[in-house]
Amino acid sequence: MNSLGDKRLPHVAPRSKIDQDAFADIFEQYKRLVYKTAYLMLGDSAEADEALQEVFVLVYKSLASYDPHKGAITTWLHRITINYCLGHRRKRQILTEPLEEARLVQLDEPIEASLVKAAERQEVRRAIMALSEKQRAVIILRYYWELPYNEVAQVLAIPVGTVKSRIDLALKTLSLKLVGPKIAHRKDVRPALECEV
Amino acid sequence: MKCEHVQKTLAVFLEGELTPDDRLMIQQHLAGCEVCRSELGLLTGQALQSLAAQAEPSPQAWSRLQARVARVPVAQVPMAKEAQPSSGWLSRWLSRLAPSGGSTPTHSLGDKTMNKRFGLTALVAVVAVAVAAILMAQNVPVVSAQQILDRASAAQSAVKSAQGINHIRIESYYTLHALEKNSTGLKTIVDSYLDYQTGNLRNITTHADTGKVLDAFAYDGANTYSTKGPLDSTSNESLTIYRSPQSREKVMANLYSGGGATVDFEQLFAEMRSDPQVTVEGKQTGADGRSVYVLSTQQLGKFLKDPNSVQTKRMFFDANTYRLLEEKATFQLAGKEIVVADMRYLVNETLPATSPVAWDLSDLQGVNIVDDTDRTQGDLLPEKITVQELAAHTKTGYLLKTIPAGFNLELEAPPKQDKETAYIYIASYRTEAGDYFVIQASGVPDDLTQGTAENAQCFNADRTITPCTATPPTGGKETYTTAAGLKVYFEEDTVTPDGKHYPEAAVKAPDGAAFLISSTLSRERVKALAEELVIAQ
């Protein structure tokens, strides 16, 4: 990114004009929103920390132009965060924890409890990380943040119809990863189902 | 298997405790049951809650951030950009909105950008007011062209992220055959609205002097409104607009196909940025007192009658907001400066989503709106077809022999095509990661390869004009012939704001078929794929 020394351009607002307190408030209020999305998207706490930095640097630069009347700040933040993560083309590390380590779950346990355990032992995490980035993004926005379809569409700048079909495809892929034959868990197998909407 | 049972035991599946047969049964049920998939989504959400519960930002995050932002100049607004240049139908579909007055629909300020941008002007938004073209030289510029373009790009991104209805009004003036005598040119106003959320849109082209409606295109949530092309500016006829029922989903899908609303000012700025000849001509004061930066470059007048004429292209930016106000192309003839094209951005704003807009064109005067319930006259949005259907429709439907590994093929064509003209279709090969190789057969083979032939002239840095070399280092024009004899005429690459080069080419086959190729892949890869082009059977 090219920086332009603002000394030479008197029309550029000096830095002090950005309300540092407001920025601090925004950071405090929304750091978890950004961090958790990045954590779930990238699957790594160090990378999520880096994402948090990069996203808020962007927020800082853009704050002067942000107009609260034109949309919720959360939508805006979700968008910047997801875009950052989508552009973060790192090598995807599919977790390779041996399946034998899975804890047994009693059949009479409530679904939630057993899912929590599944999460604890990374089954869901592995399946989520095996989704494509775009599919992961819709699942996180829809089912983790519980955003309505139209807001997911706004965040991703795609039509609502595409959101719905992408979510459904992600769930199909997820079901294959989670409950399909064990071979589907191997990182070298990519089911044909996993295609772009 | 019943849903209830499936949902109760989903968790068990996650633990992998059932037999392979049970797994298969449940998996098959999930594949066909949306309700249970939705349940899986909810359960996944809960699992994600648990996963992320302990994930907290580092305690040093704020102090690190403070150190970072202390070094940041304020005026930069680099919102993340979205995806790649569009190869979507909309740009082609809406390209008819370019002002009429000439035979070619691809006229521009001297490059292909204008046509694309015209098609998608409704999809971008900045606030701008036109400045009078009378400018006085002021002081020596203190910024470089690069810096101005960077800032313009940043300003553009900021508004692009705004929500609501994008409204843009452009006054455009073209003299397509500027070297001809008595060429007066045509001035039109293109007024565009687009609601990203609903897909409603409205684009009206009017004659700037008479106000006569020359072209229209709209979607009101239930119908598309389209024409068979713009009226000639001298025509006495009224414009006929076809009202064709169409689903929102279809309109939205086409609105965003090929990477979405991404061919925009940023793209234009990126192309200017990659032009080594762009200089800051000066900082000037417009008639309204506004400070304006003027950037200029020299280009071959590609659309002038004399292809060797050199035109000057200027871009005018508001020196305070860095928004693009005007673009102008001129050339010198016998000591006189003649304007070839002039685009002025009169309005460029984002309106609240609730703003009233006559999407159904009910406010237009002097037009005939005709119902086209079976979509035989208007609309023509593409629908999915199979390879067999393509082969049945045309004997010259070129596709890749095999779908490249990692790619998927989507084949589309507008319905009810006229049998007399070449068949229009689009074949999109795409990867999950976003790469694409797209074939677009536009139905007008002769036009496609015009101006892209081997004998193209290039304008050099020393301001001389010579034939272009076969493979210019910057990815200029080039002709490649495949073993099967297909001629691939590469255009100058599309350059994205982040500097990536995406090849575009017109292809002409020995049998006369012609089509366009656009891709995110390298030119070499495109050539290799071109070797694989065969007629669909």
Residues of B in contact with A70 (CB under 8 A): 162-164, 350
Which residues, at least 6 apart from B14, have a Cβ–Cβ distance to it below 8 Å?
A114, A115, A118, A123, A124, A178, A179
Residues of B in contact with A75 (CB under 8 A): 163
The encoded tokens of residue B431 equal 């990867």
CB-nearest partner of B158 from A65, A103, A134? A65
Per-residue model confidence as pLDDT tens digits over A30-53: 899 999 999 999 888 888 998 999
B382: region left, alpha or beta (phi > 0 left; psi from -120 to 50 alpha): beta
| Predicted local confidence at residue B493, as pLDDT | 74
Cβ–Cβ below 8 Å for A70 and B26 = no
CB-nearest partner of A107 from B12, B40, B64? B12
- Under DSSP, the state recorded for B341 is E
Cβ–Cβ below 8 Å for B58 and A194 = no
Q: What is the 3-state secondary structure (H, E, C) of B158-213?
A: HHHCCCCEEEEEEEEEECCCCCCCCCCCEEEEEEEEEECCCCCEEEEEEECCCCCE
Residue with tokens 């196909």: B257
pTM of the model: 0.47
CATH class of A1-97: mainly alpha
CB-nearest partner of B40 from A3, A75, A171? A171
The amino acid occupying position B477 is: K
Q: Measure the CA–CA gap between B11 and A174, rounded to whole angstroms.
A: 13
Residue with tokens 């633990």: B15
Q: Is residue A7 exposed (0-12), middle (13-18) or buried (19+ Cβ within 10 Å)?
A: exposed
Distances (CA, A) of A19 to A27, B70, B126, B500: 12, 13, 24, 36
Confidence of residue A100 (pLDDT cuts 50, 70, 90): very low
SS3 B439: strand
| Predicted local confidence at residue B17, as pLDDT | 58
Per-residue model confidence as pLDDT tens digits over A110-158: 445 555 554 444 667 777 887 888 889 999 999 999 899 988 988 888 8
ipTM given for this complex: 0.73
Q: Measure the CA–CA gap between B417 and B420, rounded to whole angstroms.
A: 9
Query: Which DSSP string do the residues of B54-88 spell out, in sequence order?
Result: T----TTHHHHHHHHHTT--TT---PPP-SS----
SS3 B124: coil
B261 close contact with A: CB closer than 8 A: yes
Q: Measure the CA–CA gap between A12 and A8, rounded to whole angstroms.
A: 9
| Predicted local confidence at residue A23, as pLDDT | 78
| Cα first-last separation, chain B | 42
The encoded tokens of residue A80 equal 């910047």
Cβ–Cβ below 8 Å for B65 and A194 = no
Instruction: Tell me, rounded to whole angstroms, the distance of Cα B156 from its chain centroid.
Output: 15
Cβ–Cβ below 8 Å for B82 and A115 = no
Per-residue pLDDT of chain B (537 residues; tens, 9 = 90+): 567 676 666 656 555 556 667 667 777 777 778 888 888 888 888 888 888 888 899 888 988 888 877 766 433 322 222 222 222 333 333 332 222 222 222 222 323 222 222 222 222 222 122 222 222 233 334 577 888 888 887 776 666 656 778 788 888 887 655 555 556 678 889 888 888 778 788 889 899 988 999 888 888 999 989 887 778 777 888 999 999 998 888 777 666 433 233 335 666 777 777 777 788 888 888 777 788 989 988 776 554 555 556 778 888 998 888 888 888 888 777 677 778 778 888 887 788 888 899 999 999 999 999 999 888 777 777 788 999 999 998 888 999 999 999 999 989 887 777 676 678 788 989 998 888 898 887 655 444 444 443 444 444 444 455 554 443 334 456 788 999 999 888 877 776 656 677 888 888 888 878 888 888 899 999 999 999 999 998
| Predicted local confidence at residue B11, as pLDDT | 59
Q: How far is B310 from chain A (nearest CA, A)?
A: 31
CATH class of A98-197: mainly alpha
Residues of B in contact with A118 (CB under 8 A): 11, 14-15, 47
B235: region left, alpha or beta (phi > 0 left; psi from -120 to 50 alpha): beta
With 80 as the cut, is the pLDDT of residue A191 above it? no
Closest CA to B408 of A190, A84, A161, A176: A190
Extents of the domains making up chain A: 1-97, 98-197
Torsion sign (Cα): B440, B445, B450, B454: positive
B148 close contact with A: CB closer than 8 A: no
Residues of B in contact with A84 (CB under 8 A): 80
Q: Are B262 and B82 in contact (CB under 8 A)?
A: yes
Q: Measure the CA–CA gap between B153 and B158, rounded to whole angstroms.
A: 9
B21 close contact with A: CB closer than 8 A: no
The amino acid occupying position B366 is: G
With 80 as the cut, is the pLDDT of residue A66 above it? no
A56, A61, A182: best to mutate for the B interface, most B CBs within 10 A: A61
Which residues, at least 6 apart from B156, have a Cβ–Cβ distance to it below 8 Å?
B124, B126, B264, B265, B266, B269, B323, B324
Cβ–Cβ below 8 Å for A79 and B197 = no
